Structure 1
Amino acid sequence: MAAAKPAMVQAGDREVRVSSPDRVIYEATDTTAEVTKLMVAEYFASVEDGLMRALRDRPTALERWTSGVRPGMKLATGPQDRNADAFYQKRVPKGAPDYLESVGITFPSGRTADEICPTEIAVPVWCAHMGTLTFHPWPVRRTDVDHPDELRIDLDPQPGTTFSDAVRVAGVARELLADLGMVGFAKTSGNRGIHVYVRLSPGWEFTDVRHAAIAFGRELEKRDDGVTTAWWKEERGERIFVDFNQNTRDRTIASAYSLRPIPGAPVSTPVTWDELATLTSPADFNLFTVPERLASDGDPWAAIDDVAHSLQPLLDLWDANPVELNYPPDHPKMPGEPPRVQPSKKVASHWDEDGNRVEGT
């Protein structure tokens, strides 16, 4: 059978070419029809207002599922996954159109790269042509790539917990933010978790924002015993993990209005706080339902850029208990960081008081 001819998708003022438009990206489920590559591109064009609010002027990594989403497929997370089915694209792909803009960023290793920086909806639509389902924007703008303008609170349900548990904790997080004089904006993760974003005033370092996230998580632990900031999975128990490391340089979260590589084509969807409190099934937000929702009700995050908060209230909490926690394993060792060894495998005599391994052990 001859390959399907490329299709053209209207994206703002441009027409974007999409090859293999009939390729099935998501297979049909009991509740949703199959999704083709063309439908993915058209979806991104249809949610322009919300998607560009999340991506505009931000360096953005692409999560590319070029063969679609199938059971058992794997996403590459490092060099060891050379045969994975999907991968993160952190540099501008070859063949990018001339209207695609980029910005230079620096990784924790000190290496640099030019990363896609979406400035118009045609860019995400072209990324769909390249097999992208999920966008991972940095918490910075292209005008100042070393100073985040977002605090991202990732509420991650651990085994034995449910989406309803995450909803409850999100409500506690909202109350805590209010007590600190801050306003947060919530969205579903597209799976079982919830993300809460807080816009920040200019000038904060990545370490400031990460310490603020740790302090926020610790305060949540005090208010709800179903919350944990334990980095090691064996210590988390059946609780909601506040993933503070999502605020580390080069760690990103799926953007609002991104698709997720899960059957049914779910979408990471902004919600109002009142709506979140009664939400039972985040799977109801998917490629088929979100465009109409956005068109009829508008973006619940429409006001997110109207206020920018100081981190100082959270940094004051950090200063009251400045105990460092582990960084991600691919991040350089940082001052004051605990030993990077699983607690159950740690032999106390092998480590000095500064967390350094004793020579010869």
Structure 2
Amino acid sequence: MAREETMVSVEGPDGSRELRISSPSRLLWPEAGVSKLDLAHYMIAVGAAFLAANGDRPITLQRFSGNVDGEQFFSKNPPKGAPDFVRAVDVVYPSGRSHPQLVIDEIAAAVWAVQMNTVVFHPWASRAANPDNPDQLRIDLDPQPGTWFKDAIPAARELRQVLAEAGLTGFIKTSGNRGLHVFAPIEPAHEFLEVRHAVIAAARELERRMPEQVTTAWWKEERGARVFVDFNQANRDRTIAGAYSPRALPAATVSCPLEWDELDDADPLQYTVATVPGRLQATGDPWAGMHNSPGSLEALLGWWERDLAAGLGELPFPPDFPKMPGEPPRVQPSRARNKEPGQP
């Protein structure tokens, strides 16, 4: 039996490219009825906005062997057989080792990634030419059990004000799931650790203003029914789904940029592979021109130093990171309290 496949035409800087899509009718999202070919057409439809948000950055591909309910894996290295219009850039991981990572320069590369069973695109906060210095400050507002998307909205609005007071302009998007992502363009003048410290400073200021609604507690047992400000997403090699990236969730939702005045009425389930192309065509890209006026981290880093002087130090890093200077013990608080005196 002949393999099912089709060809799609993708316009780009060097003209039209003809790309093969195998198993085009396979439903990647069975519940939503969205096929692999539908996803390829989606990427073409949102191409310019997707590239503006995710292009020219090291990117990790979240790939699936079947549909979004099945086995998945992450590709950091360029997959074998990558076409000549797909490039890579060497990046340094937290371990200190260096390795090439995929970069998307035209939408044909994203469509090729779909052919390689990619569903979610995870771009770095830095550019390919300067991977060690982010040009985006990113803050992930993650509602914890007992809270929902609507609980992240007032936190996002107050965070926008915090960033404005620090001289930064906040941009908002849905995560595609329960939360919200707030980005601010910054000058690429600081390494990841300093950007993380700026994020922690903003997160602590937000927590001071909304202590009943927001938390920076790393350990889940301490968060309660609040919105967690995930500062660890600012680390090197930590990524969140890019703007206009689909999510591997039943409704085929998309991480969708919004205007701030849309936020109160927003519903993450409204922004899907089926609906976002039409929305983009009708209203334009809320993140267009994001990087026209990047801001400085000087104020936030000043807040970080102020908090250090007040006794607020480093926060925990992800468990796969090497032990970092000033980091508190990586032990769950309840386990630490239950240890016998003198027990290692």
- Determine if the TM-score, normalized by the shorter chain, exceeds 0.5: yes
Task: Please say if residues 228 and 241 of structure 1, whose CA atoms lie closer than 8 Å, have aligned partners that are also in contact.
Answer: yes
Aligned to 1:331: 321
Aligned to 1:286: 272
Task: Please say if residues 206 and 247 of structure 1, whose CA atoms lie closer than 8 Å, have aligned partners that are also in contact.
Answer: yes
Aligned to 2:50: 51
Instruction: Look up the equivalent residue of 1:303 and give its one-letter code.
Output: G
Which stretch has the larger CA shift, 183-192 or 8-17? 8-17
How far apart, CA to CA, are the structure 2 residues paired with 1:45 and 1:194? 25
Shift in Å, 1:348:
8.3
Secondary structure at the residue paired with 2:50?
helix
Secondary structure at the residue paired with 1:190?
coil
Using structure 1 for the length normalisation, give the TM-score: 0.90
Correspondence for 1:27 among 2, 26, 30:
30
Call closer, same or farther: CA 1:38–1:342 in 2, change over 3 Å. same
Runs of 4+ in 1 over 3 A off after TM superposition: 347-351
Q: Deviations over 1:269-293 (max 9, x none)?
A: 00000001222x2110001110011
Are positions 1:245 and 2:232 aligned together? yes
Instruction: Look up the equivalent residue of 1:22 and give its one-letter code.
Output: S
Q: Which has the higher strand share?
A: 2
Shift in Å, 1:5:
2.7
Task: Please say if residues 66 and 132 of structure 1, whose CA atoms lie closer than 8 Å, have aligned partners that are also in contact.
Answer: no
Shift in Å, 1:11:
4.2
Are positions 1:128 and 2:114 aligned together? yes
Are positions 1:182 and 2:161 aligned together? no
Correspondence for 1:346 among 318, 336, 339:
336
Aligned to 1:10: 10
Correspondence for 2:183 among 197, 200, 205:
197
Correspondence for 2:299 among 313, 327, 332:
313
Shift in Å, 1:218:
0.5
Identity percentage over the alignment?
A: 49
Secondary structure at the residue paired with 1:6?
strand
Task: Please say if residues 7 and 18 of structure 2, whose CA atoms lie closer than 8 Å, have aligned partners that are also in contact.
Answer: no
Point out where structure 2 has 5 or more consecutive residues left out of the alignment.
none
Shift in Å, 1:7:
2.8
Secondary structure at the residue paired with 1:174?
helix
Instruction: Look up the equivalent residue of 1:283 and give its one-letter code.
Output: L
Correspondence for 1:269 among 249, 256, 272:
256
How far apart, CA to CA, are the structure 1 residues paired with 2:294 and 2:124? 17
Are positions 1:87 and 2:86 aligned together? no
Secondary structure at the residue paired with 2:261?
helix
Aligned to 1:42: 41
Which stretch has the larger CA shift, 6-15 or 207-216? 6-15
Are positions 1:155 and 2:141 aligned together? yes
Task: Please say if residues 9 and 17 of structure 1, whose CA atoms lie closer than 8 Å, have aligned partners that are also in contact.
Answer: no
Shift in Å, 1:113:
1.3
Secondary structure at the residue paired with 2:5?
coil
Shift in Å, 1:347:
4.7
How far apart, CA to CA, are the structure 2 residues paired with 1:202 and 1:2? 51
Are positions 1:235 and 2:234 aligned together? no
Pairwise CA RMSD: 1.6
Shift in Å, 1:349:
7.4
Using structure 2 for the length normalisation, give the TM-score: 0.94
Shift in Å, 1:63:
0.5
Shift in Å, 1:154:
0.5
Are positions 1:140 and 2:126 aligned together? yes
How far apart, CA to CA, are the structure 2 residues paired with 1:158 and 1:290? 27
